[in-house]
């Protein structure tokens, strides 16, 4: 769940002074004798600022017997020092670096590693310069007020496990290149920078879940940074991520609310399951009741079907009886109607014969009278036709004379107007020709006229 930090702007500053920066400090201590090395490495102190000081390098401040001799006496006692000088070195858990004074110069030069054990005739001009521990060192630091990507200040508790070595070359590189104080400043600055950079890549609600991933990035980055100084980073991890108190309280309240909501949701789900079970039981009871009612209805339906079939059979029997009765009555009526029909036909035939005889007599009488009238009318028509024929002959003769005269007159008129018609026709042809030429002249370009078109023109 992502929370908007704008709703609580004081969170960014309320926890700034709530936790002081707590961390270890890698130091280089001085000892007066090599025999004090084991006790000095195991003595871890807390300074006035509450910082735990972890010694990783010891510097031997024991003076040489011949440190105050002048250069002339130095040569004379050199052989004697080789014979009588000795030192007991039994520390096997540390790396010893010794140095030797150059002749006539009170300054020491690094001579490399010194093996553990008794050294007979130890020269006075040689001394153990540094003692470097071989132990695995755990360095812890607290980086405060690291802003996340959603601008919430968080604190990181970091734990770094490393060692110097494994060989004398790495120890020499560490002592003469950076030293305990320089490495302490370097690792403090690198841890803070890496922690802040990694914190800015996550939101406050995911930074705690991403501790393993962030620890892996932190370890790989530190290994690449300190490898040149002869150190081996064994492990680096984020042991704890602390949010601001107000935000922690809010997140605790949110977690409590989520827990309460989860409990309420479980109760609600149990109630829903109880209601669903009750509803299922009610539905099952209703289903069984409906099935019982359906069976009763089916039985009632079967009973009604049986009664219906009985009633249908009874009705069919009555219908067959009525049908037989009706068929019998119909046969009787048919026989009766057939007898009546035969009687009617005989009576009708007799009446028809009487009517036919009467009509034949009337027809003979009317035919005789009609023949008489026809003869009279024929004679009358013959007389009228003879009169009309004589009149028609006279009319046709007059018409023939008139037609001949009209034809003669028309022929004479046509012969007289032939010349005039000929001149008129020529004039019309010339006029049509002029129109055709005018049409050709009005069209631009050349025109191709086929025979059929010329004929049309």
Domains of the chain: 5-243 (3.30.479.30)
Binned average pLDDT, 10 residues per bin, the chain of 457 residues: 36 36 73 72 75 78 49 41 41 54 45 52 60 82 82 82 80 82 85 81 74 78 82 82 75 82 91 91 91 90 90 89 88 85 82 81 78 76 73 72 70 66 72 71 56 56
Cα distances from 193 to residues 143, 251, 263, in angstroms, run 9, 27, 43
For residue 166, say if its preceding peptide bond is cis, omega within 30 degrees of 0.
yes
Q: Please state, as a whole number, how many other Cβ atoms lie within 10 Å of the Cβ of residue 429.
A: 10
Q: Rounded distance, CA 114 to CA 87, Å? A: 12
pLDDT tens-place string over residues 49-107:
777 788 887 777 765 544 434 433 444 444 444 333 444 444 455 665 545 444 434 44
Q: Rounded distance, CA 148 to CA 2, Å? A: 13
Identify the pLDDT of residue 283.
Answer: 92
Q: Please state, as a whole number, how many other Cβ atoms lie within 10 Å of the Cβ of residue 360.
A: 10
Q: Rounded distance, CA 395 to CA 368, Å? A: 41
Identify the pLDDT of residue 443.
Answer: 60
Element (H, E) at 271: helix 245-442
Q: Rounded distance, CA 325 to CA 193, Å? A: 123
Residue 140, strand partner residues:
159
- What does the longest C-alpha to C-alpha distance in the chain come to? 213
pTM higher than 0.75: no
């Amino acid at each position: 769940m992502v929370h908007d930090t704008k709703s609580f702007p004081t969170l960014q500053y309320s926890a700034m002074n709530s936790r002081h920066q707590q961390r270890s400090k890698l130091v280089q201590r001085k000892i007066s004798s090599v025999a004090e090395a084991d006790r000095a490495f195991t003595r871890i102190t807390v300074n006035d600022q509450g910082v735990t000081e972890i010694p990783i390098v010891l510097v031997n401040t024991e003076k040489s017997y011949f440190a105050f001799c002048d250069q002339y006496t130095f040569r004379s006692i050199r052989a004697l020092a080789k014979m009588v000088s000795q030192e007991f070195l039994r520390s096997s858990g540390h790396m010893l670096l010794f140095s030797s004074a150059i002749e006539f110069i009170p300054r020491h030069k690094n001579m490399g590693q010194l093996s553990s054990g008794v050294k007979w005739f130890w020269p006075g001009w040689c001394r153990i310069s540094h003692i470097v521990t071989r132990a695995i060192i755990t360095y812890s630091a607290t980086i405060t007020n690291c802003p996340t990507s959603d601008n919430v200040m968080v604190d990181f508790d970091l734990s770094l496990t490393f060692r110097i070595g494994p060989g004398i070359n790495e120890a020499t590189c560490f002592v003469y290149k950076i030293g305990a104080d320089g490495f302490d400043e370097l690792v403090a600055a690198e841890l803070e920078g890496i922690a802040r950079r990694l914190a800015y890549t996550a939101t406050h609600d995911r930074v705690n879940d991403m501790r393993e991933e962030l620890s892996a990035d932190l370890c790989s980055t530190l290994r690449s940074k300190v490898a040149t100084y002869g150190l081996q980073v064994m492990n680096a991890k984020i042991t704890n991520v602390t949010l601001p108190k107000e935000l922690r309280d809010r997140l605790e309240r949110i977690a409590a609310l989520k827990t309460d909501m989860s409990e309420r949701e479980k109760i609600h789900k149990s109630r829903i399951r109880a209601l669903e079970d009750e509803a299922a039981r009610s539905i099952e009871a209703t289903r069984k009741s409906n099935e019982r009612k359906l069976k009763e209805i089916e039985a009632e339906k079967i009973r009604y079907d049986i009664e219906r079939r009985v009633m249908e059979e009874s009705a069919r029997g009555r219908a067959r009886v009525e049908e037989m009765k009706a068929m019998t009555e119909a046969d009787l009526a048919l026989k009766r109607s057939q007898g009546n029909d035969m009687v009617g036909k005989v009576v009708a035939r007799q009446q028809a014969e009487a009517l036919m005889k009467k009509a034949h007599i009337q027809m003979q009488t009317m035919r005789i009278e009609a023949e008489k009238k026809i003869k009279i009318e024929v004679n009358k028509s013959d007389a009228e036709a003879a009169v009309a024929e004589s009149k028609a002959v006279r009319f046709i003769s007059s018409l023939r004379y008139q037609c001949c005269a009209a034809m003669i007159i028309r022929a004479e008129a046509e012969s007289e107007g032939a010349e005039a018609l000929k001149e008129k026709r020529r004039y019309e042809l010339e006029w049509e020709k002029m129109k055709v030429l005018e049409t050709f002249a009005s069209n631009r370009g050349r025109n191709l006229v086929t025979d059929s078109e010329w004929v049309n023109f």
